[in-house]
Amino acid sequence: MLASSKRFKPPYTSMIIFFLSLLLTIFNIFTGFSVTSDMLMNILDPPLSPEDVLLIPRIEELVQTAVYDCPNGLLKMEDTYVPTYKTHWGRKIPRVIHMTAKSRCVTPEVYVHLQKWRLQGHSFYFHDDYAVDRLLYANHSGTAQELIPNMTEVLSCITNGATKSDIWRYLVLWHYGGIYTDIDNGPTKFNETTISPSDDSFFVVDRGGFMSQYFIASSSRHPLMKHVLNIATAGLREMVNVMINNPATKTGPGALKRGFIAFQRAVGIETEGYVTAGLYEGADDTFEQTNSTERRYCTVIGTKEEDQEYVMPNALRKDIKMRYYKEANMTHYHHLGKTFPRQGRISCSEHIERQRLAHNGTYFEVANYVPRNGTYVEN
């Protein structure tokens, strides 16, 4: 069962529901549009707890950034807002697309490519570094406790954009739900109707036979996202060189695979993490302790042999991607090994301890070391 506090309900909830239900019944008769009582309760009884409502901003507020002009030759990605009654009502996974990049400024080729994800009836939110950091460093209270214990100190070990994107995508889906896709993915068969209203979370099979980490759709507060967050942050803490995050195994696809194993183990199902098309059940890690009967689900489509059938990873040509990286001043994590050698390296745990001593545990600066004369020094 998901750990959650008692839901906040506005005063006179029963009276409000009665009169709104009456109005909705009249609305349904004259318009033919079906608005159900479940939809109404999603509005009056939102999935976020009172603490989160105060500490986690609305999605429209989260993505607001300072006004800035893009350099010559780059175009600014704008958001598309669709009213909540169209994106959320009657669905578990909201029709909301989330993407992230260092900046909203992209090259013309990338700009054209991203328009493919402006799906009809879907909101589209482009999260730059400012928006990502606002969510990462918010107070992630699930009830009275932090969502992930000591998460802030572990975040200080994030030293590249890929790792930050990994942690952020799990958090944004946990809090808001919706559809996350890598910026270089392209929809093939995937369209506005691929995800059904009853789907709880949704993946395609990647070429390794695992659930896709480059494309994730989820309802808010899905326990799989919490499992993956726990595993990804633990992976960060275990890093032997804080300047080389190795996201593929620590926070990315490897973390999702292990999170899925934990998700199924919570209901007594053992798996090695390989999947084929189908429906998979699991639960929060408190499932057995609380004697909960609430099970949650993952829908998987596609095959590893035809992993591009619904969503094409790496749909951008390499030269277009490299030009974009250069214009955006981004470095792929694969190139960091030569920059940060093994000799004299500083682990994540060592960095956290240094920060704890320097700031009495009240503040943790992001690791920023450079190799010099066989050791690492602060930059």
Whether 82 and 212 map to the same domain: the answer is yes
Whether 142 and 67 map to the same domain: the answer is yes
Q: Is residue 40 part of a domain?
A: yes
Q: Is residue 299 part of a domain?
A: yes
pLDDT the model gives residue 65: 73
Q: Is residue 8 part of a domain?
A: no
pLDDT the model gives residue 45: 37
Residue 53 has pLDDT above 50, yes or no: no
Residue 278 has pLDDT above 70, yes or no: yes
Residue 11 has pLDDT above 80, yes or no: no
Sign (positive/negative) of CA torsion 212, 210, 194, 136?
negative
Whether 224 and 269 map to the same domain: the answer is yes
Q: Is residue 215 part of a domain?
A: yes
Mean pLDDT of 39-44: 41
pLDDT the model gives residue 177: 97
Residue 213 has pLDDT above 80, yes or no: yes
Residue 28 has pLDDT above 60, yes or no: no
Mean pLDDT of 282-297: 74
Whether 22 and 78 map to the same domain: the answer is no
Whether 111 and 248 map to the same domain: the answer is yes
Q: Is residue 364 part of a domain?
A: no
Tokens of 158: 């994030």
Q: Is residue 377 part of a domain?
A: no
Whether 20 and 148 map to the same domain: the answer is no
* Closest to 124 in 3D by CA, of 171, 201, 180: 180
Whether 148 and 259 map to the same domain: the answer is yes
Q: Is residue 358 part of a domain?
A: no
Residues comprising the chain, all counted: 379
User: In a 10 Å sphere around its CB, with 0-12 CB exposed, 13-18 middle and 19+ buried, how is residue 189 labelled?
Assistant: middle
Question: Which of 72-76, 139-143, 338-342, 366-370 bottoms out in mean pLDDT, i.e. has the lowest?
Answer: 139-143
Whether 79 and 26 map to the same domain: the answer is no
pLDDT the model gives residue 292: 54
Whether 39 and 55 map to the same domain: the answer is no
Which residue range(s) make up the domain with 26? 16-45
Mean pLDDT of 20-28: 53
Whether 283 and 209 map to the same domain: the answer is yes
Whether 102 and 150 map to the same domain: the answer is yes
Q: Is residue 346 part of a domain?
A: no
Whether 73 and 28 map to the same domain: the answer is no
Number of domains in the chain: 2
pLDDT the model gives residue 304: 96
The more confident residue out of 32 and 293 is 293
- Other Cβ atoms closer than 10 A to 26: 10
Domain boundary at 323, 339, 355, which? 339
pLDDT the model gives residue 332: 62
